[in-house]
């Protein structure tokens, strides 16, 4: 019943492959699809791809603008605020409950522009923010501050042509 222990064999290793020439897109392919050591490299040469950088200040200003426009739309549903707001902006009375829907849609458009800006589409995001901020004037512009922040941030996005690498 007692059998002698069986010695463990060393695992078989694959022969080392030659390094790819400089400037190539990665390691050479193997028959099994995995290079020695089991590490798979991407289609880039040695370094990970550059992550796009963006201005956190612009993102925060746009987020504040979107939140203020949304809060303005929510406040329009409260009758005492609505009556006092109509004294400043008479056209809000014409919109009625559509002002709420308009404010929600405009805040979502600015939120979408934030994501586009973060992905590197700076000009497209600016051209989404401008009309959304200006149209928000129909509901009061996010207590005026949302309108001003949206327009100024859009201008800064257009003027700041510095590309991040």
78 and 40 in a common domain? no
How far apart, in whole angstroms, are the C-alpha atoms of residue 48 and residue 6? 45
Q: Considering just the CA atoms, what is the radius of gyration of the chain in Å?
A: 29
- pLDDT score for 110: 96
28 and 85 in a common domain? no
Residue with more model confidence, 42 or 127: 127
Q: Is residue 164 part of a domain?
A: no
105 and 65 in a common domain? yes
- The predicted model scores a pTM of 0.65
Residue with more model confidence, 118 or 104: 104
Q: Is residue 25 part of a domain?
A: yes
Q: Which phi and psi (to 5°) does residue 127 adopt?
A: -75, -10
Domain that holds residue 154: 56-159
How many domains does the chain contain in total? 2
How far apart, in whole angstroms, are the C-alpha atoms of residue 99 and residue 74? 9
99 and 139 in a common domain? yes
Q: Is residue 1 part of a domain?
A: no
Distance set, CA 86 to CA 23, 83, 91, 99, 118 (Å):
66, 5, 7, 12, 37
Q: What is the pLDDT of residues 8-59, one digit of tens each?
A: 665 566 555 555 555 555 555 555 555 555 555 555 455 554 545 678 889 9
């Amino acid at each position: 019943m007692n059998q002698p222990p069986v010695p463990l064999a060393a695992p078989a290793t694959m022969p080392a492959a030659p390094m790819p020439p400089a400037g190539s897109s990665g390691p050479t392919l193997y028959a099994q699809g995995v290079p020695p050591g089991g590490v798979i490299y991407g289609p880039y040469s040695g370094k990970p791809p550059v992550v796009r950088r963006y201005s956190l200040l612009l993102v925060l200003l746009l987020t504040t603008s979107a939140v203020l426009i949304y809060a303005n739309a929510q406040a329009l549903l409260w009758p005492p605020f609505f009556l006092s707001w109509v004294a400043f902006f008479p056209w809000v009375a014409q919109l009625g409950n559509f002002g709420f829907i308009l404010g929600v849609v405009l805040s979502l458009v600015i939120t979408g522009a934030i994501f586009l800006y973060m992905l590197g589409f700076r000009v497209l995001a600016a051209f989404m923010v401008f009309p959304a901020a200006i149209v928000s004037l129909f509901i009061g512009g996010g207590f005026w501050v949302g309108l001003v922040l949206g327009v100024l941030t859009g201008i800064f996005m257009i003027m700041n042509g510095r590309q991040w690498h």
